[in-house]
Amino acid sequence: MYAQMVKTGVSAVKTREEMSEQERAFQARIDAGEKIEPKDWMPDEYRKTLIRQIGQHAHSEVVGQLPEGNWITRAPTLERKAILLAKVQDEAGHGLYLYCAAETLGISRDEMIEMLHAGKMKYSSIFNYPTLNWADIGAIGWLVDGAAIMNQVPLQRTSYGPYSRAMIRICKEESFHQRQGYDIMMKMAAGSPEQKAMAQDALNRFWYPSLMMFGPSDKESVHSAQSMAWKIKINTNDELRQKFVDQTVPQAEYLGLKVPDEALRWNEDKGGYDFSEPDWNEFFEVLRGNGPCNRDRMRARVKAWEDGAWFREGLLAHGEKRAARRLKTAA
């Protein structure tokens, strides 16, 4: 019931000759680095791609609260609890900015949420993995938010104005999230042998799922070519994955932890690490709804949505009452 659709086959990009006059003028604006704003003309596919990407991104922020929320009541100190609570609240805020950005494209937040619940929209694969112990909260901040920053910093320059502006604010908060995760890892890695083993175990379990966050390899990526031509995406999936590995391996070394990849080697010629690809079968299985936590995550979101119905209805009724009162006093 909660399977997410999986498409294959790389999308074709129109040549200038194949474009209409309007499409050519639009592409010229993109090429000149102009931002596209909600009331500007845009091709239907550009609009659809943005709704898909921004909507998925918003859902990821909201579903992403679940694995971390699981540890708020069990954080080891009052300080850690307050920090984690603030981080999880930030994710709700990110979801809000992104839903608002998507709404400027002519879809409502309710419609997107219904599509998510019906398995017609995705959220990031990473949130279908469980958080088994406190070190996982460190690994999420360090690796998952680290991967998110790598992906989202370039998105600040994305061609759609409202998305680009939402990303600027989100990125500021993400760097704090990444640092709080690394701080947990530093504490655990420098702690007792048992704590260091927990940190290593968390790295072992979250390494490959974090690499999957950047999406399939470039040759399997359906949307990259067109999204890059429209500057919706600025880098390919593999480019960002490589940058993430190059940035993260020295951080693991500093912690005294081992990246779980026997093939990991510095490659002098390319100026980056050679590394093993994640298991792409596992990735596509997670996208099909068969990851370890897909069903739990969707059950939790659907329940929260249904439990909140009375509150949404109450807010609407209150708004209507106030509007009616204003009309009466104005008359």
- Which residues make up the interface to ligand BYC (CB under 6 A)? 5, 7, 52-53, 56-57, 60-61, 64, 91, 122, 124-125, 144-145, 148, 151, 212-216, 221-224, 227, 233, 237, 287
Contact 291, 125 (CB under 8 A): yes
Q: How far is the CB of 153 from ligand BYC (least distance, A)?
A: 11
Tokens of 298: 């969707």
3-state secondary structure of 21: helix
User: What's phi and psi for 32, nearest 5 deg?
Assistant: -80, 0
Q: How far is the CB of 167 from ligand BYC (least distance, A)?
A: 9
Q: How far is the CB of 322 from ligand BYC (least distance, A)?
A: 34
Q: How far is the CB of 212 from ligand BYC (least distance, A)?
A: 5
Which CB, 61 or 261, lies closer to ligand BYC? 61
The residue of the chain with the least Cβ separation from ligand BYC equals: 64
Whole-angstrom distance, CA of residue 207 vs CA of residue 57? 21
Q: How far is the CB of 284 from ligand BYC (least distance, A)?
A: 8
Whole-angstrom distance, CA of residue 98 vs CA of residue 109? 10
Exposure letters 224-262 (e unless 16+ CB within 10 A, then b) = bbbbeebbbbbbbbbebbbbbbbebbebbeebebebbbe
Whole-angstrom distance, CA of residue 126 vs CA of residue 123? 9
3-state secondary structure of 272: strand
Which CB, 125 or 131, lies closer to ligand BYC? 125
Residue 172 exposed, middle or buried by CB count within 10 Å (0-12, 13-18, 19+):
exposed
Q: How far is the CB of 181 from ligand BYC (least distance, A)?
A: 9
Q: How far is the CB of 192 from ligand BYC (least distance, A)?
A: 28
Which CB, 138 or 215, lies closer to ligand BYC? 215
Q: Which of 47, 39, 20 is nearest to 230 (CA)?
A: 47
Q: Which residue has the tokens 């059950």?
A: 299
- For 309, residues 6+ apart whose C-beta sits below 8 A from its C-beta are none
Which CB, 17 or 60, lies closer to ligand BYC? 60
Which CB, 74 or 258, lies closer to ligand BYC? 74
> Left if phi > 0, otherwise alpha if psi is -120 to 50, otherwise beta: which for 106?
left
Which CB, 43 or 191, lies closer to ligand BYC? 43
Q: How far is the CB of 34 from ligand BYC (least distance, A)?
A: 21
Which CB, 61 or 103, lies closer to ligand BYC? 61
Which CB, 6 or 264, lies closer to ligand BYC? 6
